[in-house]
């Protein structure tokens, strides 16, 4: 299948050039996913499929378009590209739109990223089913399991292959795999509510998945700890973002780091390079070469060779996500247009130790809705979690909200954990923020 997609990507670029494009980039993708859902002692769903598609960027007489199709019949492809070129010719010229400078393709890392596990071929739906069953059994094995209304668990494998060809001399491909395991548990509360929580893991290698029983147990414990959840009082207080929840909060810092946001005047981080932004605790790099990282890749979607670069160092802003197009508009050197993995400057204590230090505040374990304004930095987000009382995790709280401005809140980042969350690209550790407005009663 993969070799076909390489041929398709090459042929699409050739057809585009023959039909009048000066340049073109073709990306052929194949993805095979097997997924099993299991619920309350029964198989709920098996889904298994291989999908394929072609993306094509066209540079025609100084004009630009992006087209994609899953209809790869050769006769259709020819007409599709012809129509796309005609469409492109109707647009305005854009002198900033080019393929990347070929020098940026050079210097691909020789490091073994370890993102493709050959073992994936030996794992079938029946294996995933067994894992999902084991997750449920463990979930129902915890103390107090009679409160459980429903356990949904599941497992999935994904194999992706990418074949990329640019008319100015780039050709690359890579495969990656991922293995997923999850459990969601609903429990019955005495007031009629049916709180739910869960746990999951996502890894590049099968051998890195945790024991299914540990996922099941932790999902149940998390759900049962939600029983008796109450709305707390509105207050200005310290919040501890647990490592799994923190990624969502950090994502609002990443959006305005994009060169497109800067150029479009939609970034509260504009003009801050080499200036202090956060507290000394705020340090992370973009690391596309992290071994077995969920965001690791040898090159980005523009074919630019993947390199590590700093974003924040000791609270000072060092770098932006810069793609070729907006880089040209801003006269900034391209880094990459999209985040890979984040590598955090870590502290020395884990989440529990940080909670103990905080004494009084709120431990946030999940966000619900809310949003953040990339232009002004204002945010307002629904939260749930636990009260922190005397350095201990106390009663569950919910139906509450935190709000503030990113321009201030990161200056009050007082501690960072030593516990990066491994099952995400953001790899956030526990984060402790002082003086945050919490709304409740």
Partner 1 sequence: MPSNHRMTRRQFVEMGATSVAAATAGGFILGCGGAALEKPEVGAGAGGAAAPPSGAGRPTYFARFGVDEGMIREGIAEALSHGGDYADLFFQHRVSNGLQLEDGEVNRAYTRVELGVGVRVVKGDQTGYAYTEELTRDAIKRAARTAASIADGPARPAPQSFKADGGLPQRYTLDMPWDNVKPEQKLPILDGVNAAVLKADARIKKVSVFFADEAGAVLIVDSLGRMAEDVQPMTMMYVSCVAEQNGRRETNGYNVAGRRGFDFYSPEVVGRVVREAVARTTVLFDAVQPPAGEMQVVLGAGSSGILLHEAIGHGMEADFNRKGTSIYADKIGKPIAKPFVNIVDDAAQSFARGAINVDDEGNPAGTTMLVDKGVLATYMHDAISAKHYGVKPTGNGRRQSYQHAPLPRMRATYMLPGPHKKDEIIASVKNGIYCQSFSNGQVQIGAGDFTFYVKNGFLIENGKLTKPIKDVNIIGNGPKVLEQVDMVADDLVIDEGGWTCGKDVQSVPVSQGLPTVRVAKITVGGRSQKA
Which lies closer to partner 1 via its Cβ, residue 200 or residue 349? 200
How many alpha carbons lie under 13 Å from residue 417 in its C-beta half-sphere?
Answer: 25
Which lies closer to partner 1 via its Cβ, residue 280 or residue 329? 329
Query: Cβ contacts of residue 146 below 8 Å, gap of 6+?
Result: none
Which residue in 54, 52, 43, 41 sits closest to 10, CA to CA? Answer: 54
Query: Cβ contacts of residue 61 below 8 Å, gap of 6+?
Result: 20, 22, 88, 89, 93
Question: Under rule CB under 8 A, which residues in 49-68 are in contact with partner 1?
Answer: 49-53, 55, 57, 63-68
Question: Under rule CB under 8 A, which residues in 336-395 are in contact with partner 1?
Answer: 337-339, 368-371, 373-376, 378-382, 384
Query: Does residue 163 belong to the site contacting partner 1 (CB under 8 A)?
Result: no
Q: Which helix (H) or strand (E) holds 53?
A: strand 42-60
Query: Does residue 93 belong to the site contacting partner 1 (CB under 8 A)?
Result: yes
Single out the residue of 74, 192, 271, 390 in contact with partner 1 (rule: CB under 8 A): 192
Query: Does residue 234 belong to the site contacting partner 1 (CB under 8 A)?
Result: yes
Tokens of 299: 């090159």
Piece in contact with partner 1 (CB under 8 A), picked from 98-106, 322-330, 345-353, 386-394: 322-330
Question: Shortest approach of partner 1 to residue 21 CB, angstroms?
Answer: 13
Alpha helices in 279-391 (DSSP H): 324-330, 351-358
- Please give the sequence-ordered ranges of beta strands (E in DSSP) within 347-408, or none if there are none: 361-372, 378-389, 392-405
Query: Does residue 150 belong to the site contacting partner 1 (CB under 8 A)?
Result: yes
Piece in contact with partner 1 (CB under 8 A), picked from 104-112, 135-143, 262-270, 350-358: 262-270
Piece in contact with partner 1 (CB under 8 A), picked from 100-108, 137-145, 252-260, 410-418: 252-260
DSSP secondary structure code for residue 109 in this structure? -
Query: Does residue 214 belong to the site contacting partner 1 (CB under 8 A)?
Result: no
- Spell out, one character per residue from 10 to 49, where the chain touches partner 1: x when CB under 8 A holds, - when not: -----------------x-----x-x---xx-xxxxxxxx
Which lies closer to partner 1 via its Cβ, residue 349 or residue 396? 396
DSSP secondary structure code for residue 95 in this structure? T
Binding-site residue total for partner 1 (CB under 8 A)? 120
Query: Does residue 404 belong to the site contacting partner 1 (CB under 8 A)?
Result: yes
Name the 3-class secondary structure at 422: coil
How many alpha carbons lie under 13 Å from residue 319 in its C-beta half-sphere?
Answer: 22
Tell me how far CA of residue 208 lies from CA of 29, 117, 137, 202, in angstroms. 25, 11, 21, 9
Query: Does residue 144 belong to the site contacting partner 1 (CB under 8 A)?
Result: no
> Measured on CA atoms in the order 257, 424, 226, 186, is the torsion positive or negative?
positive
Which lies closer to partner 1 via its Cβ, residue 115 or residue 413? 115
């Amino acid at each position: 299948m993969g070799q076909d997609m390489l041929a398709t990507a090459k042929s699409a670029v050739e057809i585009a050039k023959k039909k009048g494009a000066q340049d073109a980039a073709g990306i052929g993708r194949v993805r095979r996913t097997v997924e099993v859902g299991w619920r309350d002692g029964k198989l709920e769903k098996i889904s298994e499929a291989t999908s394929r598609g072609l993306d094509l960027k066209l540079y025609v007489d100084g004009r630009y378009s992006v087209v994609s199709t899953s209809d790869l019949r050769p006769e259709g492809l020819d007409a599709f590209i012809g129509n796309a070129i005609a469409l492109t010719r109707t647009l305005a010229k854009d002198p900033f739109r080019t393929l990347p400078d070929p020098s940026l393709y050079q210097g691909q890392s020789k490091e073994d990223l370890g993102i493709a596990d050959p073992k994936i071929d030996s794992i079938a739906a029946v294996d995933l089913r067994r894992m999902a069953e084991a997750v449920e059994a463990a979930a129902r094995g915890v103390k107090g399991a009679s409160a459980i209304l429903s356990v949904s668990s599941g497992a999935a494998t994904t194999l992706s292959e990418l074949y990329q060809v640019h008319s100015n001399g780039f050709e690359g491909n890579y495969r990656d795999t991922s293995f997923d395991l999850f459990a969601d548990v609903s429990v019955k509360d005495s007031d009629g509510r049916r709180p739910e929580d869960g746990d999951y893991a996502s890894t590049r290698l099968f051998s890195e998945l945790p024991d299914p029983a540990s996922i099941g147990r932790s999902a149940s414990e998390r759900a049962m700890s939600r029983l008796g959840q109450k709305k707390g009082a509105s207050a200005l207080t310290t919040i501890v973002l647990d490592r799994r929840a923190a990624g969502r909060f950090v994502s609002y810092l990443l959006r305005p780091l994009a060169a497109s946001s800067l150029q479009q005047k939609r970034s509260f981080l504009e003009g801050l390079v080499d200036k202090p932004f956060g507290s000394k605790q705020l340090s992370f790099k973009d690391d596309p070469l992290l071994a077995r990282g969920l965001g690791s890749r040898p090159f980005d979607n523009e074919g630019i060779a993947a390199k590590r670069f700093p974003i924040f160092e000791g609270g000072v802003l060092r770098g932006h996500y810069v793609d070729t197009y907006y880089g040209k508009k801003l006269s900034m050197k391209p880094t990459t247009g999209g985040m890979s993995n984040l590598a955090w400057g870590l502290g020395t204590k884990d989440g529990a130790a940080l909670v103990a230090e905080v004494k009084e505040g709120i431990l946030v374990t999940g966000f619900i809705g809310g949003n953040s304004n990339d232009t002004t930095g204002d945010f307002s987000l629904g939260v749930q979690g636990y009260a922190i009382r005397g350095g201990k995790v106390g009663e569950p709280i919910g139906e509450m909200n935190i709000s503030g401005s990113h321009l201030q809140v990161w200056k009050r980042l007082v501690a960072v954990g030593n516990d990066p969350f491994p099952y995400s690209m953001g790899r956030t550790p526990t984060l402790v923020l002082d003086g945050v407005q919490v709304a409740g009663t």
